[in-house]
Structure 1
Amino acid sequence: MKITGIEDLHVASALGHYSFLKIATDAGLVGWAEFNESGSTRPISALIKASGEQLIGKDPLPVQQIVTQLYQQSIQAPGGLAQRANAAIEMALWDIKGKSLGLPVHALFGGPVRDRIQVYWSHCGSYRIQAGEKLGVKPIRTPDDIAELGAEVKARGFKGLKTNCFNLVGGQLTRQMQGYGRQPTHAALNLERHTLDGIVATLRAFREGAGPEMNLHLDSNVHFRSEGYIRIARAIERFDMTWLEMDMWDAQALADVRSKSPVPIASLEQIVGRRNFRPFFERGAVDFAIVDLLWNGWSEGLKVAAMAESFEINCAPHNYHGHLSSAISAHFCALIPNIKVMETDIDSSPWRDDLFLTEVQYEDGDMLVPFGPGWGMDVNESAARKYAADH
């Protein structure tokens, strides 16, 4: 069997777009991967094409050999966009490998530890504040709207939800996006009173609407510095949080935040490669390690999880893309013993389900692990081309 073609597809969504990689073979098998390309990460497609050209005509089945070679070829620019491109290629190759053997990817690594994974509703309220009309749902404007959404999450059977940081001004909620350079006075990353008020009001409303048994997570992203994260942690302790999530590049600074936080700390979604995870583990910087499979790649993700287990740390996948990403994350959660919970986006473009040939199965707040060959989640190519993004 030989690789005959590599193609990237980009699909419009209400919040950006979905990106897929298709690797075709002369045996008729097609491997699919999902990757994240937007804003400053748009060159990933070009990197995939540059790396993928050398694979045309080669056997796709010795995946680890190919992955090792791709890693070594990008060693002078470790991590970052090069690794994300390599990860996409690797994911598609594992899909081919599984399909060639008629087995799910997790079966290639010893079979699943579990066949269902508890999930939490991610970006809960965040997307409805940002683009409710485009998503075809009621927009969020006030804490009362948040309480109503919390009741919806509970009614739909989810056991956990994760929201983000909102500003509260004049009774109205808006998203806090300063860490991404999207609002005035962003450079200092200070935690202002109207933001802390919004965070507290949001979590109070979610707790009231969803009830005392709902697992609450707050993702504060990259919006503040250590002082701000510590103030947030102390302010939200009253809501019995599952975790406070943030992203920091310095292991010692994150360890300091954790030492002063009365709630568990989750982090590391932006870290790529086990060598970069290690100092955070060694300094005891996190209670939970967030691992992005689409950025690290499958093999590296498994190695990070194994290293985390040696430090008695449970993992949770960073997963906010399409259903193929969810399938890949579910294989990861099924395989590793040290899993906490899985992220998933429920609010999304009305046509997201049309992009895939397999339905994601949720039951009692869990996602059922796919057992079809490969990732068990093929892209509907005709639908992807129908909703193609202007890329």
Structure 2
Amino acid sequence: MRIVKLESLMADAGWRTACYLKVVTDEGIVGWSEYGEHFGTAGVTGVIHALGELVIGMDPLQIERIAALLRGRTIQAQGGINQNAIAAILNALLDIKGKALGVPVHALLGGSLRDRVPFYWSHFGTYRVRNHAQLGVPPLKGYEAWAALGEEARARGVKAVKTGLIAEDGNGGFANFGPGFAYTPGYPELNLDRTVLTTLRKQLAAIREGLGDDVALMLDVNFHFKTEGYVQLARAVEPFGLDWLELDTYDCQALSHIRQMAPCPIASLEALYGRNGIRPFLEKGTVDIAIIDLAWNGYLEAFKMAALAETHQVNVSTHNFCGGLLSDVISVHFAAAIPNIRLVEFDVEDVPWKSEFLTAPLIVEGGEIVVPQGPGWGVDVDEAFVRSHPPRS
């Protein structure tokens, strides 16, 4: 069997573009993966196809050999866009191998440990703040709306939710808060304004009221502050019993200090690449939960990263916000196969047509996702639907 073609397909996924890679073999077996260009990875499609030229004619079942070749050809600029491109190619090859052998991907590296994986409702409320019209739901108005959303999650059997930071818009509603991404004022100094804490306390109190005490609550504050601000914020949210506070920094010493000072578990590392990227952070005991991105690192490398985390008694959660559903499927295969899974990131609310991107639905029941059992990923991208929904100009 040989690789004969790589093709990218794009589709409208609301506020972002769903990006799929199709790898075709001379025996007619097709492998699929998903990647993203909507947040910090612009241009990855071109890199995928530049690197893809190197694998044309190669045996798609020799995944480690192809991985070694692609790493070698990008060694002087490892990580970043190059690693995103390598991940997209290798993830598609795993789909091909599973189909060729007639087994699901989670069976390729030792088999699954579970038939269902636990997830958390990601972007809880914050997607409604930013994208309510595309979600087909009303905007959140007043803190009582956050409490009502918490009640809705509990009624749906969701076991865990993760929200993010917001700001009051002066009209009873809320606005996006994102200085760490240079979306809103405050970059690059990234100081913690006390009004942020006031708003956050009201938000978390309302969510906790709606969720009750039995549903896990997490908070993601991304790259929005410096070390001092993260420590202040961690202390401020102590009364709300967070299952974890998630934050990002590239400074190992800073994250170690934050974890030592924080009264709650710390989750991080989603912005890092590969075992070499997370190793010093694990050695310095910086996290309680390691976040790993399957679309950025690739299933194969992520599996090894999870094994490394296991040697430090650290469990893993997935980072996943591509938007085209196949990335959810890939995360579920990963979570089924590693021993140290904590939770899978999953967007319960998304654009109404998201389920149409795949040939079969992802089954979600309460707080768990059923692991697909078909060959490869167990589902394929619905090409006809994707082609009928081109990205918005």
TM-score, scaled relative to structure 2: 0.97
Q: Residue 158 of structure 1 corresponds to which residue in structure 2?
A: 158
The 3-state SS of whatever aligns with 2:77 is coil
Which residue is equivalent to 2:292?
A: 291
Give 1:102's aligned residue: 102
369-378 or 93-102, larger mean C-alpha shift: 369-378
Q: Deviations over 1:182-239 (max 9, x none)?
A: 1123221111122111211111111111111110010000111111111111111111
Alignment of structure 1 residues 182-221 onto 2, 5 Å: 182-221=183-222
Map of 1:247 onto structure 2: 248
Deviations 1:34-88 (A, max 9, x none): 0111254221000000011122222211111101111111000011100000000
List structure 1 segments (4+ residues) > 3 angstroms apart after TM superposition. Answer: 168-172
1:124 is displaced (CA, Å) by 0.6
Question: Retained in 2: the 8 A contact 1:114–1:334?
Answer: yes
Tell me, yes or no, if structure 1 residue 358 matches structure 2 residue 360: yes
Q: C-alpha separation between the residues in 1 aligned to 2:60 and 2:252?
A: 38
Conserved in 2, the CA contact under 8 Å of 1:168 and 1:194?
no
- Which position in structure 2 is the counterpart of 1:235? 236
Q: Aligned residues: percent identity?
A: 45
The question of whether the paired residues in 2 share the 8 Å contact of 1:143 and 1:173 is answered with no
Report the number of matched residues. Answer: 391
* Paired position in structure 2 for 1:55: 55
The letter of the residue matching 2:267 is: A
Residue of structure 1 aligned with 2:381, choices 376, 379, 382? 379
**Counterparts of 1:114-129 in structure 2 under 5 Å?**
114-129=114-129
Aligned pairs for 1:1-391 (under 5 A) are 1-168=1-168, 170=170, 171-321=172-322, 322-390=324-392
The residue identity in structure 2 corresponding to 1:271 is L
1:222-281 Cα deviation digits (max 9, x unpaired): 111111111111111111110000000011100000000001000000000111101101
Residue type matched to 2:375 in 1? P
From the superposition, tell whether residues 233 and 173 of structure 1 become closer, same or farther in structure 2 (CA, over 3 Å).
same
- What residue ranges of structure 2 are gaps of 5+ in the alignment? none
Cα RMSD of the aligned pairs, angstroms, is 1.2
Name the amino acid aligned to 1:328: I
Specify the code of the residue in structure 1 equivalent to 2:136: G
Contact 2:140-2:173 at 8 Å conserved across structures: no
The Cα of 1:107 is off from its aligned counterpart by 0.8
| More divergent stretch after superposition (295-304 vs 54-63) | 54-63
From the superposition, tell whether residues 312 and 40 of structure 1 become closer, same or farther in structure 2 (CA, over 3 Å).
closer
Q: CA shift at 1:169, angstroms? A: 5.5
In the alignment, the residues of structure 2 paired with residue 326 and residue 108 of structure 1 have an alpha-carbon distance, to the nearest angstrom, of 18
- After superposition, the C-alpha distances for 1:110-138 in whole angstroms (9 at most, x for unaligned) are 11011111111000101100010111112
